[in-house]
Amino acid sequence: MHMIKRKTFLPYGRQDIGEQEAVAVDAVLKSDWLTTGPKVVEFETAFAKFVGAKEAIAVNSGTAALQIACQAAGLKKGDMAVTTPFTFVATSNAVAYCGAKPVFADIEPDTYNLSADCARKKLNSHVKAILPVDYAGHPCDILDFMDMAEKKDITVIEDAAHAVGAQIDGKKVGSIAHMTTFSFHPVKQMTTGEGGMVTTNDEELANKLRTLRNHGINKDARSRHGKAGTYEYDMTELSFNYRLTDIQAALGLVQLDRLPEFLRKRASIAKLYESLADELPVKLPATRKNVRHAWHLYPVLIDKPGKRDEVFSSMRAANIGVNVHYIPVYHHTYHKKQNPKLRASDFPVTERVFSGELSLPMFPGMVREDVEYTVQALASSLKVRQ
Ligand SMILES: *Cc1c(COP(=O)(O)O)cnc(C)c1O
């Protein structure tokens, strides 16, 4: 088939913002509260309800969510946390911010999520947390990790930056782990520009998280404001300013309302990819029967040594924003320096998946022609006739 080259660049992900969002943000700009105020509370309440968690704590990035979760879990120097190397660097960075050591375990060959069996082998008395990631939006085996932590002094922090709205065994991601973290970066399923959330069913953890997002101060500005307010507050531990603004929360509330629509569109794009790319010599992403996928990414696997980079270049040349998720974290200079004993050969599945992985464009604003063009470009890059 002859291909006509696109004139505009098709990114791998992008936000969908409409007039409704603009109206909501505008109203906050003209109100009394710009930063953490009534809209943040409203956003947290709506988000907790959506995922089925008791508490939700809004912060200004997914990275901040991970950091305060690790801090609330009590991670400190001398501790270890088991996590996946097949993720964005923010996951293991959160462990390192606390002075603790990330310990990587290999991933599953079908979902590319942290393997519970591999994680179990890394447990020892220093391990105080496990951080699985719901890669691409496919939920991890959270109950296996919860079992592993049971009766031990281990906190499970699920990095669900890819998985807002995903479900496992009929339960929403965000309602099961000790703490679950989300990101509202524009490439994710819903956005606040920058932003994040931690959900938990544990009130004590929720109180800690609220303190940690606000310098370690035990009262927020609103409770000290107005007639009945007091000047008193106490800083109980050292932390940073991770507050989300009311401007962002107003945007988030509209995006949360539209999330079901976004998720439906993503699922239909995945379905279209599946039907169009079915015959190509690539491995399409697997979805287990007991999950509802949230389709942050559409990762295909080109299982032929060296071929992925070739396909990547030729698809970029065709104006398609393919990407690679992820360079395994232990490949980064920082981690090599921190732990010279790390060997790529200890992570055979991660290495194999990394060498072949290619993320195709996936966002709700894609039209049928975008998907068709992407699959045609993939087919011709693979030098197969379609
Ligand atoms: C996006 C992302 C984060 C970080 O979120 P930010 O909001 O960009 O700070 C963390 N973990 C994973 C797996 C992500 O994809």
Residue 121 Cα to ligand 1 midpoint, Å, equals: 26
Nearest CA to ligand 1 atom 10: 90
pTM above 0.95, yes or no: yes
Q: Tokens for 154?
A: 């281990």
| Distance from residue 225's CA to the centre of ligand 1 (Å) | 33
Q: d(Cα 120, Cα 317) in Å, to the nearest integer?
A: 43
pLDDT of residue 386: 44
What pLDDT is stored for residue 384 in this prediction? Answer: 56
Confidence at residue 218, expressed as pLDDT on a 0 to 100 scale? 83
User: pLDDT value at position 4?
Assistant: 67
Cα 90 to ligand 1 centre (Å): 6
Closest among 282, 328, 281, 300 to 136, alpha carbons compared: 300
Ligand 1, atom 7, lies closest to the CA of 62
Q: 154-189: per-residue pLDDT in tens?
A: 999 999 999 999 999 999 999 999 999 999 999 999
Beta carbons within 10 angstroms of residue 385's beta carbon: 6
Mutate to test the pocket of ligand 1, among 183, 191, 198, 324 (most ligand atoms within 8 A of CB): 183
Q: Which residues pair with 59 in a beta bridge?
A: 196
**Exposed e or buried b for every residue in 32-67, given b needs 16+ CB within 10 A?**
ebebbbebbbebbeebbebbebebbbbbbbbbbbbb
Residue 296 CA, closest ligand 1 atom number: 15
CA 350 to chain centre: 18
**Residue with CA nearest ligand 1 atom 5:** 62
Q: Which residues are near ligand 1 (CB < 6 Å)? A: 61-63, 87-88, 90-91, 133, 159, 161-162, 183, 185, 196
Question: pLDDT means per 10 residues in the chain (386 residues)?
Answer: 76 96 98 94 98 98 98 98 98 97 98 98 98 98 97 95 98 98 98 98 97 90 74 92 98 98 98 97 97 98 93 96 98 94 96 98 97 97 70
Distance from residue 385's CA to the centre of ligand 1 (Å): 37
CA 163 – CA 356 distance, rounded (Å):
23
- Copy the structure tokens of residue 348: 């055979």
Give the Å distance between the CA of 159 and the centre of ligand 1: 8
SS3 for 140? coil
Q: Candidates 185, 189, 197, 326: which one to mutate for ligand 1, based on the most atoms within 8 Å of Cβ?
A: 185
pLDDT at 230: 81
Q: What 3-state DSSP class applies to 320?
A: strand
Q: How far is the CA of 187 from the centre of ligand 1 (A)?
A: 10
For residue 171, report the distance from its CA to the centre of ligand 1, in Å: 22
The answer to whether residues 181 and 69 touch, using CB atoms and an 8 Å cutoff, is yes
For 151, residues 6+ apart whose C-beta sits below 8 A from its C-beta are none
Mutate to test the pocket of ligand 1, among 61, 63, 157 (most ligand atoms within 8 A of CB): 63
Query: Which residue owns the Cα nearest ligand 1 atom 14?
Result: 161
Residues in CB range of 227: below 8 A, 6 or more apart: none
pLDDT at 128: 98
H-type alpha helices, 98-186: 116-120, 142-149
Judged by DSSP in three states, 22 sits in: helix
Q: What is the pLDDT of residues 14-43, one digit of tens each?
A: 999 999 999 999 999 999 999 999 999 999
pLDDT at site 231: 86
Using a 10 angstrom Cβ sphere, with 0-12 exposed, 13-18 middle and 19 or more buried, the burial of residue 2 is exposed
Residue 327 CA to residue 137 CA, distance in Å, equals 18
What does the DSSP 8-state code read for residue 323?
A: B
12, 83, 88: residue to mutate for ligand 1 pocket, most atoms within 8 A of CB: 88
Q: What residue spans of the chain are helical by DSSP H? A: 19-29, 38-51, 62-72, 90-97, 116-120, 142-149, 203-212, 246-276, 307-317, 333-338, 348-356, 368-381
Token digits for 153? 């002094």
Catalytic residues: 188
Work out the mean pLDDT of the chain and round it to a whole number: 95
* Backbone dihedral region for residue 251 (phi beyond 0: left; psi -120 to 50: alpha; all else: beta): alpha
Residue 329: per-residue pLDDT:
98
Residue of minimum CA distance from atom 2 in ligand 1? 161
